[in-house]
């Protein structure tokens, strides 16, 4: 580079280079933060450069809309005049202190199963968010996932070919070793299951360090993807749990309808296996940090799958998981007591409970029902009734003070839910009174 600056950004070092371009670490002096800048290669042909610039603009447009902990944020898109008819395009993104998974698996002898499962779980959350917003990534692969095991950080990147769900696509879209069988069908349609297939291929490589489908040439690879079954995990790692094989086999099913129906369902299967592995090892090596992570995984799946939160985006659910408290109550146990100060609202995630006033049951509550939200409207409001479980029940609670620290969007969604719950109760009461 002729200068140590790209636009207003001060270049510090080169952090990656490929056939199509270079990535630099830089500093944004205006906002005083580290950034990553992607610049196309000067060796590209005019046609290659034109195609890459289109992908830059697509990545900037789509990536700038995404706000998720497991997705690299796009900050800026720019162009610099370098002379007559010469322009240098660049894309500015969040800087992630980590490495691509493609490089990481070469740095370690063998990844622990729990580490692999947690990486894929975080990727599932990113896909859950992308699919919730009606997009398909279309290029999930080891090289498009940033990872830092020390924190840990897992982030998807490169949205240059991302598009809307059900986009009818040509065979060339994506990276061959991660393409699904539907890529090679006459009227191939890419859906959420296409991304799930690619993530299944990533998961297989994290375990075996080999792609699930291979061949001596492109035609052989395509035939393998369409017709062959991957070599069993146990060939590479004899101790691989059967449940792990089941998850990968389902993700890599030839028929999209046989795969996980959603990224959330994929995440749920991983969470159950993580929970099982954690419990097996809890007495020896499991740490408090790992216990918290396993618990948060379970909470995320529970809330995303709960009817009360069906309109909440995955990123809002993740925010709630971090500030809320999910507890399990046994049968005939009090959740709140009549007369006590109301300082939290509650949502029943699973199970059921009775509303008790003056020792009499006046109503019943089931999964998806909420209570206590009216206490947020007036300070020092006391509970007008007790809530006693009718069976083993899982409940989310959010303290009113904590609630105020949530994002404006999350608060708005919660208040909308409170309003609907209140109106449903009033409607039920009016019907009972025949008003």
387-409 per-residue burial string, b: 16 or more CB within 10 A, e: under 16? bbbeeebbbbbbebebbeebeee
Tell me the two tokens of residue 348: 């029943």
How far is it, in rounded angstroms, from Cα 234 to Cα 237? 5
- Would you state the structure tokens that stand for residue 53, as one six-digit string? 């610039």
Determine the Cα–Cα distance for residues 204 and 119; give it in Å rounded to an integer.
12
Look at strands 33-40 and 86-94 and give their pairing: antiparallel
Per the listing, tokens 């749990």 go with: 241
Q: What is the DSSP string of 196-229?
A: HHHHHHHHHHHHHSS-SS--SSHHHHHHHHHHPP
Residue 160's CB is within 10 A of a number of other CB atoms, namely 22
Cα R_g (the chain), whole angstroms? 25
Q: Catalytic pick from 47, 76, 128, 139?
A: 139
- Specify the 3-state DSSP secondary structure of 29: coil
∠ Cα 126 296 318 (to 5°)? 45
Q: Which of 324, 271, 339 is nearest to 114 (CA)?
A: 271
Distance of alpha carbon 132 from alpha carbon 129, whole angstroms: 5
Distance between CA atoms of 261 and 281, rounded to whole angstroms? Answer: 30
Rounded to whole angstroms, the Cα distance separating 68 from 314 reads 8
Angle between helices 113-132 and 192-208 in degrees, nearest 10: 170
CA 154/CA 152 separation, integer angstroms: 7
**What DSSP string runs through 308-355?**
GGTTS-HHHHHHHHHH-EEEEE-TT-EEE-TTSB--EEEEEEESEEEE
CB 175 within 8 A of CB 102: no
The residue whose two tokens read 């993104």 is 93
Is residue 139 flagged as an active site residue?
yes
Separation between Cα atoms, residue 288 and residue 192, nearest integer Å: 34
Q: For 245, what's the count of Cα atoms within 13 Å in the CB-facing half-sphere?
A: 14
- Any idea which residues carry the catalytic annotation? 139
């Amino acid at each position: 580079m002729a200068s140590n600056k790209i636009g207003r950004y001060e270049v510090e070092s080169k952090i990656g280079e490929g056939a199509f371009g270079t990535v630099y670490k830089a500093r944004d002096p205006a906002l005083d933060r580290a950034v990553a800048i992607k610049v196309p290669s000067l060796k590209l042909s005019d046609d290659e450069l034109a195609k890459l610039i289109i992908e830059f603009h697509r990545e900037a447009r789509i990536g700038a809309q995404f706000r998720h902990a497991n997705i690299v944020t796009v900050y800026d898109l720019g162009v610099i005049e370098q002379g007559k008819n010469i322009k240098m395009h660049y894309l500015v993104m969040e800087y992630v202190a980590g490495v691509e998974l493609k490089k990481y698996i070469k740095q370690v002898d063998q990844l622990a199963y729990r580490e692999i499962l947690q990486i894929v779980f975080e990727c599932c959350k990113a896909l859950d968010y992308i699919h919730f917003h009606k997009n398909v990534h279309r290029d999930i692969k080891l090289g498009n996932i940033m990872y830092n095991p020390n924190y840990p950080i897992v982030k998807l990147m490169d949205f240059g070919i991302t598009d809307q769900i059900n986009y009818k696509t040509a065979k060339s879209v994506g990276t061959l070793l991660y393409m699904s069988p539907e890529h090679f069908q006459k009227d191939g349609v890419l859906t959420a299951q296409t991304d799930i297939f690619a993530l299944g291929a990533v998961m297989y490589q994290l375990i075996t360090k080999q792609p699930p489908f291979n061949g001596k040439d492109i035609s052989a690879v395509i035939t393998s993807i369409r017709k062959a079954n991957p070599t069993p995990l146990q060939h590479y790692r004899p101790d691989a749990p059967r449940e792990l094989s089941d998850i990968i086999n389902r993700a890599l099913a030839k028929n999209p309808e046989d795969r996980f129906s959603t990224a959330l369902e994929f995440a749920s299967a991983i969470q159950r296996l993580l929970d099982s592995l954690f419990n097996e090892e809890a007495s020896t090596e499991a740490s408090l940090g790992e216990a918290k992570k396993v618990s948060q995984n379970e909470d995320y799946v529970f809330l995303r799958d709960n009817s009360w939160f069906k309109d909440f985006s995955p990123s809002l659910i993740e925010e709630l998981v971090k500030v809320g408290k999910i507890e399990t109550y046994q049968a005939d146990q009090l959740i709140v007591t009549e007369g006590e100060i109301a300082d939290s609202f509650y949502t029943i995630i699973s199970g059921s409970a009775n509303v008790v006033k003056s020792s009499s049951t006046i109503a019943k509550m089931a999964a998806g029902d909420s209570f206590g939200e009216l206490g947020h409207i007036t300070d020092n409001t006391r509970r007008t009734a007790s809530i006693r479980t009718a069976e083993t029940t899982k409940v989310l609670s959010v303290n009113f003070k904590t609630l105020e620290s949530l994002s404006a969007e999350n608060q708005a969604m919660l208040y909308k839910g409170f309003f609907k719950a209140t109106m449903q109760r009033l409607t039920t009461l009016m019907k009972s009174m025949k008003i």
